[in-house]
Amino acid sequence: MPNRSRTSDALKAQVAARVDAEQAALFELSARIHAHPELCFTEHRAAGWLTDYLESRGFAVQRGAYGLPTAFAARLGSGRPRLAVLCEYDALPGIGHGCGHNVIAAAGAGAGVALSAVVGETGGSIVVLGTPAEEGGGGKIAMAREGAFDEIDAAMMIHPASVDLIGMNVLALTTVEVEYRGRAAHAAAAPHAGINALDGMVTAYQAIAQLRQHIRTTERVHGIITDGGQAPNIVPERAAGLFLIRAITAKRLAKLKQRVDGCFHAGALASGAECEVRTVGEEYSDMWTNQPFAAAYLANLEQLGRHVVDLPADQISGSTDMGNISKLLPAIHPMIGIAPPRVALHTQEFAQWASSADSQRGVLDGAKAMAMTGVDVLCTPELLDAMRAAFQADAARA
Mean pLDDT of 340-362: 96
| Strand order through the sheet with 220-227 | 220-227, 238-247, 172-181, 274-284
- Orientation angle between helical segments 197-211 and 250-271, nearest 10 degrees: 140
Contacts of 324 (CB under 8 A, 6+ apart): 138, 140, 141, 144, 282, 284, 285
Q: What is the DSSP letter of 274?
A: E
Give the span between the Cα atoms of 247 and 221, in whole angstroms: 9
Residue of 377, 388, 376, 363 whose CA lies nearest to 108? 363
Residue range 3-8: average pLDDT? 62
C-alpha span between 148 and 295 (Å, rounded): 26
Per-residue pLDDT at 7 exceeds 90: no
pLDDT confidence of residue 312: 65
pLDDT above 80: residue 128? yes
pLDDT at 293 over 80: yes
Backbone angles phi, psi at 227, to 5 degrees: -145, 120
Give the per-residue pLDDT at 314.
57
pLDDT band at residue 342, thresholds of 50, 70 and 90?
confident
* Cβ neighbours of residue 352 closer than 8 Å, sequence gap 6 or more: none
Phi, then psi, of 173 in degrees rounded to 5: -140, 135
pLDDT for residue 106 is more than 80: yes
The reported pLDDT for the residue numbered 156 is 98
Band (pLDDT 50/70/90 cuts) for residue 168 is confident
DSSP secondary structure letter of residue 193: G
DSSP assignment of 36-95 equals S---TT--HHHHHHHHHHHHHTT-EEEESGGG-TT-EEEEEEESSSEEEEEE----BTTT
If you average pLDDT over every residue of the chain, what do you get? 96
Domain ranges in the chain are: 4-168+287-397, 172-284
Confidence of residue 313 (pLDDT cuts 50, 70, 90): low
Among 3.90.226.10, 1.10.3720.10, 3.40.50.1950, 3.30.70.360, name the CATH number for the domain at 172-284.
Answer: 3.30.70.360
Partners of 156 in the β-ladder? 85, 332
pLDDT value, residue 316? 61
Closest CA to 108 of 46, 173, 191: 46
Asked whether residue 6 carries a pLDDT value surpassing 70, the answer given is: no
Better pLDDT: 2 or 232: 232
According to DSSP, the residues that pair with 240 across neighbouring strands are 179, 227
Q: What is the DSSP string of 153-189?
A: SEEE--EEESS-BS---BPEEEEEEEEEE-B--BTTT
Task: Identify the pLDDT of residue 343.
Answer: 94
Query: Cα angle at 155 between 390 and 32, to 5 degrees?
Result: 150
**In 3-state terms, the chain is what percent helix, strand and coil (to 5)?**
45, 20, 35
Mean pLDDT of 364-387: 98
Task: List Cα–Cα distances, 140 to 34, 68, 70, 324, 361, in angstroms.
Answer: 21, 10, 12, 8, 27
pLDDT at 319: 95
Q: Which tens digits make up the pLDDT trace of 254-269?
A: 999 999 999 999 999 9
Which of 100, 78, 97 has the alpha carbon at shortest distance from 161?
100
Residues 6 or more apart whose CB falls under 8 angstroms from that of 224 comprise: 241, 242, 243
pLDDT reported for residue 311: 72
Q: What is the dihedral of CA 186, 223, 95, 284, to 10 degrees?
A: -140
Identify the helix (H) or strand (E) that includes residue 127: strand 124-130
Confidence of residue 1 (pLDDT cuts 50, 70, 90): very low
Region 238-245 average pLDDT: 98
pLDDT band for position 3 (50/70/90)? very low
Q: What is the pLDDT of residue 244?
A: 97
pLDDT at 2: 39
What is the pLDDT averaged over residues 24-36? 98
Decide if 184 contacts 236 (C-beta within 8 A).
yes
What SS3 class is residue 357?
helix
The per-residue pLDDT for 5 is 52
**Domain at 4-168+287-397, CATH homologous superfamily:** Zn peptidases (3.40.630.10)
Taking 90 as the threshold, does the pLDDT of residue 317 lie above it?
A: no
Among 55, 136, 131, which Cα is nearest to 89's?
131
What integer pLDDT is reported at residue 318 of this predicted model? 87
216-230 residue pLDDT tens = 999 999 999 999 999
Mean per-residue pLDDT, 337-347: 94
- Across residues 36-47, what is the average pLDDT? 98
Is the whole-model pTM more than 0.75? yes
